[in-house]
Amino acid sequence: IDERGPVGAETTAPIHASAPLFVDQSTESAILVTGIKVIDLLAPYAKGGKIGLFGGAGVGKTVLIQELINNIAKGHGGTSVFAGVGERTREGNDLYHEFLDAGVIAKDADGNPTSEGSKVALVYGQMNEPPGARARVALSGLTIAEYFRDVEGQDVLFFVDNIFRFTQAGSEVSALLGRIPSAVGYQPTLSTDMGALQERITSTNKGSITSVQAIYVPADDLTDPAPATSFAHLDATTVLNRAISELGIYPAVDPLDSTSRVLEPRTVGQEHYDTARAVQSLLQRYKSLQDIIAILGMDELSEEDKVTVARARKIQKFLSQPFHVA
């Protein structure tokens, strides 16, 4: 990728490995502070959790990923691993150069990229690669993340773009092996393949791997077996909304559609929980008033509703923020 020749390595590790033993897994529920207000308040990430990132083209998925990598590097001293599974070569190239410009990938005195001081490892298997390679890229990236967790004791952020392509590649391999396909033509081992990958993403007594997975939903059908299988493993969802990005509010995270299992008083505290629910309640009321505002204008609202709209707009602005990498 970086035209620096072969990667020199002293140790190797198998990409097919078992999940950490039950006794080695951490049972503590801890929050991974990302430094992104809307996520930390309304849909917080759990350390060792799995987050689904939903969003179309051009709503800021890549920039959000870059900011998360930057903040984890600076706030936690942690490393990130990015696995590009079955996506466009151009996207991988753009991401690499954007990381160089943002300083996430360090440069030496001559201006060449160097691993010393870099905070991200990139693993790619693009669309033009054979299905066997695409099916293994996610596992290769995960093995690198496991090294940082188990050997160096770090809190690692592991990005997969796109988890659907991992399933798609597995389906192609299954067909080449002559297995009888299951529902909608997917491999009969769909749940097993997904479970083997997802179960390795967890917190242990040494460190944690928190995974952010971009999920493509074919034909917007949430009941399709591929996305439906990955939903069962998710702890949080971050939904990027084009309508919010069109208002110029970035990050364009939808505060009402994004969810998190750890948004409960026992984990985040009663004050945080009450504040988050009050914010969502206010934004929901504002959303229900938007049709009236669009047709009749603000003047037709009651005084109470006008206060609601004013507050909601202030909250929307507050939940946006400038990014270090953009």
Q: Which residues contact 146 (CB under 8 A, 6 or more apart)?
A: 13, 17, 200, 209
Instruction: Return d(Cα 21, Cα 66) in angstroms, integer.
Output: 32
Q: Which residue has the tokens 């080449």?
A: 176
Annotated active-site residue 87? The verdict is: yes
The residues that bridge with 80 in the sheet, in sequence order, are 120, 157
Annotated active-site residue 61? The verdict is: yes
**Residue from 47, 50, 67, 87 carrying the catalytic annotation:** 87
**Residue from 74, 88, 179, 306 carrying the catalytic annotation:** 88
Instruction: Return d(Cα 305, Cα 300) in angstroms, integer.
Output: 10
- At residue 220, the 3 state secondary structure works out as helix
Among candidate residues 152, 247, 142, 158, the one with its CA nearest the CA of residue 200: 142
Among candidate residues 289, 203, 177, the one with its CA nearest the CA of residue 29: 203
Instruction: Return d(Cα 90, Cα 310) in angstroms, integer.
Output: 42
Two tokens, residue 239:
């939904």
Q: What is the largest CA-CA distance in the chain?
A: 71
Active site residues: 61, 87-88
